[in-house]
Amino acid sequence: MEFLAEYGLFLAKVVTFVAAILVVVVVAVSLGGRNKKSDKGHIEVTKLNEKFDHMRDTLRDAMMDDDAYKEFEKAEKKRRKEEKAEKKKAAKETAKPTAEATTDEVIADKKRIFVLDFYGDIKASEVDSLREEISTVLTLAKPTDEVVVKVESGGGMVHSYGLASSQLTRITNKNIPLTICVDKVAASGGYMMACVANKIVAAPFAILGSIGVVAQLPNFHKLLKKNDIDYEMFTAGEYKRTVTMFGENTDKGRAKFVEELEDTHVLFKEFVSEHRPQVDVVKVATGEVWFGRRAKDVNLIDEIQTSDEYLFAQAETADIFEVEFTYKKSLPEKLGFAAQAAVDRLLMTWWERLNISRWF
């Protein structure tokens, strides 16, 4: 017993010591951060052509014997030397100054493709990163280039996905071709984003559509009443609150709430019609979903292809750049929001599972 008591006291001291160190570190980092300029994140750019070449070279090197590899390396060096000379010559011709020439126009005229990723949750949380990425791309992109956005989302809040769609519209407003690639799902708010594009490409069994609006909430009024618990709510304005989780909902309140849902649905249908006039909105705006092959039959998409196929096919004729905005979090932020993020992910995961389950 004496040993256990001493061990327990020792353990308590160790835990206290470690906790004290963590507190000091967090406070120090927090205070230090106040004196630094805000650095919430930065843009990272990866040239996918080089990534594809590396993948090919790695496999080829593994397949060749030593003699064959030496011969290949010799021929490859010669080819690169000739290619470099041709590029240098072309660059000199392109870079000849003119009265109207600008810095951007001196850049090689080879088509450029900018690739962005958007993985959407209920709140379309990545819209802030998307905004930064699009702003970056628009500083250099020209109508001869192309922006490809890989969208994966089952939808969520109307206003959040409305903003995400508006960000994509910034690209088309500049007359820069926009292609949306869907490998898994672009439904509801996800399709609201996709329909903005000049071209939608989807995998054969990707899920698309769900052009509808849904709202659901539990009501605990009867449970509260059974336990003699009153719930009071005060509002100014007849329709400030139409339905509630704890109060007694009225037929008039329900009718107004449904009316608001219907109006949102009308706006959604008008939005799809505006951006994809080839779609028969009356036929597809029923809340149903279609797999890629069927989605093409009803003009929800333009091509059946995965994003990998689409990008690989253009790697020989275009320079492909993946653009990503990465947030930089301080230590206090990492420690302070870790638990909240875990709870958010858990709730969102189950919400998305409930939504996805109805598609099968």
List pLDDT tens digits, range 198-230: 999 999 999 999 999 998 889 888 888 888 888
- State the alpha helices, DSSP H only, in 211-306: 221-226, 251-275, 281-284, 292-297
pLDDT number for residue 345: 64
| pLDDT 10s digits, 94-129 | 555 554 445 454 445 689 999 999 999 999 999 999
**Domains of the chain: which residue ranges?**
112-208+288-327, 211-279
Which residue bears the tokens 């397949």? 63
pLDDT number for residue 85: 75
Question: What number is the average pLDDT over the span 244-259?
Answer: 90
| pLDDT 10s digits, 269-280 | 999 999 999 999
Which of 31-35, 50-54, 274-278 holds the top average pLDDT? 274-278
Helix (H) or strand (E) holding 289: strand 289-291
Q: What is the mean pLDDT of the chain?
A: 83
Topology given in CATH for the domain delimited by 112-208+288-327: 2-enoyl-CoA Hydratase; Chain A, domain 1 (3.90.226)
Q: Check residue 175 and give left, alpha or beta (phi > 0: left; psi -120 to 50: alpha).
A: left
pLDDT number for residue 334: 55
The answer to whether 243 and 253 have CB atoms below 8 angstroms apart is: yes
- Confidence band (pLDDT; 50, 70, 90) for 350? low
pLDDT at residue 239 above 60?
yes
pLDDT number for residue 266: 96
More confident residue, 126 or 8: 126
Of 181, 196, 195, 189, the C-alpha closest to 210 is 189
More confident residue, 88 or 27: 88
Question: What number is the average pLDDT over the span 63-90?
Answer: 75
* pTM for this entry: 0.75
pLDDT at residue 16 above 90?
no
pLDDT number for residue 99: 47
- State the alpha helices, DSSP H only, in the chain: 2-34, 48-63, 66-94, 103-106, 127-138, 158-173, 189-194, 221-226, 251-275, 281-284, 292-297, 307-314, 331-357
Catalytic site residues? 188, 240
Bridging pattern class, strands 146-153 and 178-182: parallel
- Confidence band (pLDDT; 50, 70, 90) for 58? confident
